[in-house]
Amino acid sequence: MFKLLLVDDEPIEREGMKAILERSFEGIEIKQAKNGKLAVEIAAEWQPDIIFMDIMMPIMTGLEAIEQIRETDPDVEFVMMTAFDTFDYAQRAIKLGVKDYLLKPSKAAEIVAIAEKVFSHLRKKAQQSAEQEQQQSALQKAMAIVEMDIVTQLLFDQVQDMHIDLLVEMKGTEPAKEKFVMTISVPKGAEQVCRDIKRDISESSHIWIGPCYDWQLPIIVFRDPVHSLRSQAITLANRILAASGKREQCFVGIGPMCDSLGQVRDSYQKSLLAMTDLAVPSRYRFYSAELEPIRSHDPALIKQQEKRMADSVRRGDWETAEDIVAGLIRQSERAGENVIRTQQRSLELLWLSSRIMAESGIETEAPYYAIPAKDYRQLMLASLELIGGLKEKHNMHFSRLEFDKIHKIKQFITEHSHEDISLEVLAKKVDLSPIYISKLFKEKLGINYIDFLTECRMGKAKKLLADPEISLKTIALEVGYHEPNYFSKVFKKMNELSPTEYRLKLLNSGRTQGIST
């Protein structure tokens, strides 16, 4: 129930009101003050919901007390009590936000009616506050999903400017032009570590967080003009490592600065290269050009090459897989490596590719070179031919499966478009990686998954807008948007009309057809 403070210099008045209120309202908690000064002290410590305040009192008047209490507690509700029905008192009380007033002496029915009115107002205010908190929580959840999917597509696909603009608007701050990618490596199986890191940095408006995939968490960091790149990155890296609770088992690779979102992918790839030596004591490392020409037999580079190769095969990104093997061959040739040794290393990468394919259910024989390579040119041609064979088998397998997978994904999105659907949710439904789903959508349907989800939601919204009895807020919630304003902005960007304008157009069209018939 509520806490109520009675302030009056007349003990009889206070006790009489206390008895009336306690009889009428079960569970109400009441305290008393005999003057304004004491009321200020009790209000500061006890924080009542309502204060019934007499105006004319010694030491400090009621209006002076209200003014002081308002400074520290703007939410408390006041009821003014006075024996003088004067305009001056009423005018000043209104300016101080007094909810209502009682003329003394007051009848019991009047006291109860005023109290019930204020209690009702407080209950309504509490309900509105709870609803706003719930909506804000839902919006934050939705924003995190949008943010994660946009980062995924910036790193591995393409994303429309419309979605980026809306994310910027949801975040509430315009990001800096300069940006860089940091990739956090976490211990295998440590899902809680990923959650702890995300929770710690999620409220930063200059950070966009991607999905934790293969125990790596990529984030896009927008430059803070107050600090240098190095200072900003080191501070953030140390904060992330501290939030992980497993500093010695985590590592942060820091990519170079870029000016456009189109270059973010390059910064991401170089943040992975920065993680070639996980033994660095600081547990973070900046990318530098010096990382590129490491000799091909370096253990750290071998491990990084294998990871990139495995990721490329899982994504079906054979162009990158070819680049990795070709890069290894060129690098070894420049370094003066023995060609047979390089052929063996290339074969290890090809065997790794065939194992990854086998894990995905693709039947393939382990690749072999027909003969030992005599020179690097022969090795390059033979390696690309073997990769081409693996690529062909991969594509044949997925061409049979992709139609079914795409159908399932489309059906799931269509049926659940009103829910918070992320790439990670879809990945679990069809047993594919989020990155592969993003790539599959782009290649097979010509649009990305966010666009398809948005189109589904807009299609449902248009049908609901045909019914003038359904409010825009209800429609927004029905089609999957927790914030009506955000729904309206997406709708207008997609249809060049606001929901209200679209509804009016539908209604006017219906009237015209009715007249013509």
pLDDT tens digits for 441-453? 777 777 777 888 8
Can you name the CATH fold of 412-516? Arc Repressor Mutant, subunit A (1.10.10)
Band (517; pLDDT cuts 50, 70, 90): very low
Q: How much of the chain, in percent, has pLDDT values that exceed 70? A: 86
Structure tokens at 229: 């790149």
pLDDT at 172: 57
Q: Are 232 and 214 within 8 A, CB to CB?
A: no
pLDDT, greater one: 32 or 347: 32
Band (4; pLDDT cuts 50, 70, 90): very high
Q: What angle do CA 238, 244, 249 make, to 5 degrees?
A: 90
3-130: what CATH class?
alpha beta
pLDDT, greater one: 304 or 339: 339
Instruction: Extract the runs of DSSP E, i.e. beta strands, from 275-406.
Output: 284-286
Q: Which residues pair with 179 in a beta bridge?
A: 222, 258
| SS3 state of residue 100 | strand
Residue 92, pLDDT above cutoff 70 = no
Domain with CATH 3.40.50.2300 in the chain: 3-130
pLDDT, greater one: 33 or 177: 33
Domain with CATH 1.10.10.60 in the chain: 412-516
Residue 446 to residue 433: CA distance in whole angstroms: 19
Rg (C-alpha) for the chain, rounded Å, is: 33
Amino acid present at 30: I
CATH of 166-291, one of 1.10.10.1100, 3.30.70.270, 3.30.9.10, 2.60.120.40: 3.30.70.270
Domain with CATH 3.30.70.270 in the chain: 166-291
Q: How much of the chain, in percent, has pLDDT values that exceed 90? A: 25
Average pLDDT over residues 379-406: 84
pLDDT at 311: 82
Q: Which DSSP category does 54 fall into? A: E
Average pLDDT over residues 199-223: 84
pLDDT at 87: 46
Average pLDDT over residues 140-159: 70
| SS3 state of residue 249 | helix
Residue 405, pLDDT above cutoff 80 = no
Q: Are 8 and 31 within 8 A, CB to CB?
A: no
Q: Are 60 and 66 within 8 A, CB to CB?
A: no
pTM higher than the cut 0.85: no
